[in-house]
């Protein structure tokens, strides 16, 4: 069955009685996934914006994986900004059945953790719903605990190459600061926390799990068609090509 509309996709998932998570990838990354038949975790590196080594990242809705598929913000692409040349002409979206990650420890994306901490500290986080789609207001206990953790973070470990101190970088919405702080918080919280549960279950954060994952379906997307995408992405499956 070729999925041509988002409604058909919803009906399909309902008929299967299964929930899917989404993994977006660049052309090179997507081709590697197709070649191996599984989504392999990142090796990671020491750069602040690099993913945590050994983990695969998943989004809970299509919108939150599109930046990885398209190589930039899909809303920017719709407005006419050309991102295609930066990472190939094709992006990929892989669907992962929820049963595949059953029993695996789920940790929110470090950018989301860092942004939530910045919010707890009273910093300007107008873009927070881009990483926490259902976020409205921070839980008081989470706010208190994150502010306490911040006091123990190595502020000198943050280096944006311009001498900006960590507090100023968070207040100025620097994503490398969110990523740095998020990783530091995750180091201190470990593999599980009520903060993770709230972020994933209530705020709907994208998250990571350890180890390689099998995917159920795969779609390729010609990034030159991105200008045709509707804001709600309801025509994504009509424009994309199902390849598995």
146 and 190 in a common domain: yes
Please state, in angstroms and rounded to a whole number, the distance separating the CA atoms of residues 153 and 94. 35
- Kindly report, residue by residue over 55-111, the tens digit of the pLDDT: 999 999 888 888 888 876 555 555 455 555 556 789 999 999 999 998 899 999 999
Highest mean pLDDT among 84-93, 124-133, 156-165: 156-165
In a domain, 38, yes or no: yes
Structural domain of 184: 110-205
80 and 201 in a common domain: no
- Kindly report, residue by residue over 193-208, the tens digit of the pLDDT: 999 999 999 999 999 9
Of 4 and 59, which is predicted with more confidence?
59
Q: Residue 144 pLDDT > 70, yes or no? A: yes
51 and 136 in a common domain: no
In a domain, 180, yes or no: yes
145 and 61 in a common domain: no
pLDDT above 70: percentage of residues in the chain: 84
199 and 116 in a common domain: yes
What CATH number does residue 99 fall under? 3.20.170
Query: Hey, how many other C-beta atoms are within 10 angstroms of the C-beta on 126?
Result: 7
Q: Could you tell me the two tokens for 144?
A: 């208190």
pTM: 0.85
Of 3 and 139, which is predicted with more confidence?
139
Query: How many structural domains comprise the chain?
Result: 2
Burial of 116 (0-12, 13-18, 19+ CB in 10 A): buried
What value does the mean pLDDT of the chain take? 86
């Amino acid at each position: 069955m070729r999925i041509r509309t988002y409604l058909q996709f919803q009906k399909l998932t309902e008929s299967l009685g299964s929930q899917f998570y989404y993994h977006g990838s660049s052309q090179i990354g997507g081709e590697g996934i197709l070649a191996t038949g599984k989504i392999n975790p990142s090796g990671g590196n020491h750069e602040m914006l690099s993913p945590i080594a050994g983990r695969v990242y998943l989004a809970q809705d299509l919108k939150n994986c599109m930046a990885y598929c398209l190589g930039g913000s899909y809303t920017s692409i719709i407005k006419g900004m050309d991102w295609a040349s930066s990472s190939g002409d094709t992006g990929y979206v892989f669907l992962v059945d929820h049963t595949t990650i059953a029993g695996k420890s789920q940790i929110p994306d470090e950018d989301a953790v860092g942004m939530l901490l910045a919010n707890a500290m009273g910093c300007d986080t107008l873009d927070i719903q881009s990483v926490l789609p259902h976020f409205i207001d921070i839980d008081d206990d989470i706010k208190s605990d994150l502010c306490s953790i911040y006091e123990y973070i190595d502020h000198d470990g943050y280096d944006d190459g311009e001498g900006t101190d960590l507090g100023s970088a968070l207040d100025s919405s620097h994503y490398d600061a969110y990523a740095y702080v998020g990783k530091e918080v995750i180091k201190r919280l470990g593999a599980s926390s009520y903060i993770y549960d709230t972020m994933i279950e209530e705020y709907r954060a994208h998250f990571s799990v350890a180890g390689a994952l099998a995917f159920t379906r795969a779609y390729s997307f010609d990034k030159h068609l991105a200008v045709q995408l509707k804001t709600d992405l309801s025509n994504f499956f009509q424009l994309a090509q199902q390849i598995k």
